[in-house]
Amino acid sequence: MESPSSLDPRTLAKLKGLHLRARHIVEGYVSGLHRSPYHGFSIEFAEHREYAPGDDLRYVDWKVFGRTDKFYLKQYEDETNLLCYLVLDVSESMTYRSSPAALSKLEYAQALAASVAWLVLEQQDAAGLVTFDNQIRTLLRPASNSSHLQQMIQVMENVSPGKKTAAGPIFHELAERLKKRGVVMILSDFFDNVNSLLAGLKHFHHRRHDVVLLHVLDPAELDFPFQRPTQFQGLEEFPDVMTDPQALRRAYMKELGIFQQKLQEGCRTMNMDYELMRTDRPLDAALRSFLAGRMARMK
């Protein structure tokens, strides 16, 4: 296993091409895990039925056997392979990269998405990709063949950010278009009206998808380290603003905290996973934290 520093964003930034970055992440850390991190993503358990000769013993519920001395199998509402929909925000705000950061939010999210897709496809499960800003730009239906990874990477590398976000309405539309239930993993800075966001996420919940939010933020957005008068570049149709950041810091940090708290509380209410992803955080640490928490909740 490679050292954690090999997955630092500064190291990844030196690797040209998303395929190479994803392979570096998967081979350097995730593939070394002793247990597949996606076993916890199975479709929701429905009921038991008695064992019949020829049934797959992998689905025997041994806890029930211990209580009853009878063999029962777990049945699932959808016994097809896992479907993982990767939903990537490609709006203009995702291009932000503060001067100390090695990767933009979009580059960091792309590396995460490509790595997750690689893992899912290695398990012979199916991965799909959605890119969006103020509309759905691409929708690749889930597939499990090896060539699908290259197609997903090509789409991500060819995105043209520059539009405003409309995440809430997009989530409503996607909830209707993604017919088969699966894991919906959203990679975004979620810079949108929080009530609209939660309403869209609730639609996924209503359709009984398993939703994961990976909240990708630059360290400067979280820490607001600016000291001197600074011209802040407007993104997503907002104008540039020249201001004294010290006069704004307290109000900014308060608003950010309220936004994050409301988003996290909404996720908890709907039993959705939420993980903050700082773009200065090594990819192995980000994935380890998310996957460990995910597996613990699935036990």
Please write the tens of the pLDDT for every residue from 107-163.
999 999 998 898 888 878 899 999 999 999 999 999 988 789 999 999 999 998 877
- Distance of CA 129 to CAs 32, 90, 138, 220, 276, Å? 25, 12, 7, 28, 21
The total domain count for the chain is: 2
161: left (phi over 0), alpha (psi -120 to 50) or beta: beta
- Distance of CA 279 to CAs 32, 97, 203, Å? 23, 9, 29
- Let me know whether 62 and 84 are in one domain: no
How confident is the model at residue 4, as a pLDDT? 46
- Let me know whether 69 and 168 are in one domain: no
How confident is the model at residue 31, as a pLDDT? 47
How confident is the model at residue 35, as a pLDDT? 42
- Let me know whether 175 and 254 are in one domain: yes
Task: Write the CATH number for 172.
Answer: 3.40.50.410
Taking the C-alpha atoms of residue 181 and residue 154, their distance in angstroms, rounded to an integer, is 25
Taking the C-alpha atoms of residue 234 and residue 92, their distance in angstroms, rounded to an integer, is 10
Range of the domain at 63: 44-76
- Let me know whether 244 and 166 are in one domain: yes
Structure tokens at 176: 């209707």
Low-confidence residues of the chain, pLDDT below 50? Answer: 1-4, 31-46, 77-80
- Let me know whether 137 and 213 are in one domain: yes
- Let me know whether 90 and 185 are in one domain: yes
- Let me know whether 71 and 86 are in one domain: no
- Let me know whether 49 and 171 are in one domain: no
Residue ending a domain, choose from 60, 76, 92: 76
State pTM to two decimals: 0.79
- Let me know whether 10 and 141 are in one domain: yes
